[in-house]
Amino acid sequence: KAGVTQTPRYLIKTRGQQVTLSCSPISGHRSVSWYQQTPGQGLQFLFEYFSETQRNKGNFPGRFSGRQFSNSRSEMNVSTLELGDSALYLCASSPLDRGGELFFGEGSRLTVL
Amino acid sequence: AQKVTQAQTEISVVEKEDVTLDCVYETRDTTYYLFWYKQPPSGELVFLIRRNSFDEQNEISGRYSWNFQKSTSSFNFTITASQVVDSAVYFCALSELYNTDKLIFGTGTRLQVFP
């Protein structure tokens, strides 16, 4: 069974640009969550989608947005990039039944110059 | 507010030593889940265990064991006879009982096991 796939794995952007990251969950998983990992703030929850609806949102500015498609694939977008947005962005999927474990992808490492 | 504290930033041991990773949590909820995840150099977080607040039984899985003590709000993780492959960053996390996709993570403990 294929795991969670995130693309691109690495990318470099400059301040002010925007970026879109993609996540393909494990087949059959309908819930997708996004996390940001930085050396300073650690792992922080961004948002969670289930059946194309955002169910939860973390404490991030409106520049961070996401969506989920009917095939459960998800994208997150960061607009007007700032240096502090440099991070590893991790996507996770989970089975329909809540209370289960999250399955994480290897992440997309974003560097903002 | 919910919070997870992993006071040990980095631990170094020699292979075959036992090592315990500490985790202390804060929550006002009476029901919740606790987790441990492992992050190898490749980056993805690997699930190790989930424990709900109803169940204070300790758990053993091979060389891994977990000690959950609600009275001290701790959920410690012990690796027995550590191996080089155990080298990774280990995260403890907390979630609401019905909101397990939203994890509150600790800052992680980097474990280095030397041969």
pLDDT in tens, B32-43: 999 999 999 888
* Sequence letter at residue A54: Q
pLDDT value, residue A100: 67
> Which of B54, B101, B105, B109 is the best mutation test for A, with the most CBs of A within 10 A?
B101
Q: Chain A contacts of B108, Cβ < 8 Å? A: 42-43
CB contact under 8 A, B44 and A31: no
Q: What size, in residues, is chain B? A: 115
pLDDT value, residue A1: 62
CA-CA-CA-CA dihedral for A8, A26, A34, A10, to nearest 10: -10
Please name the residues in contact with B89: beta carbons below 8 A apart, sequence gap of 6 or more: B38, B39, B108, B109, B110, B111
Q: Closest-CA residue in chain B for A41?
A: B107
Instruction: Please write the tens of the pLDDT for every residue from B59-103.
Output: 888 999 999 999 999 999 999 999 999 999 999 999 988 888 889
Q: How many whole angstroms separate alpha carbon A31 and alpha carbon A55?
A: 9
Q: How many whole angstroms separate alpha carbon B105 and alpha carbon A66?
A: 21
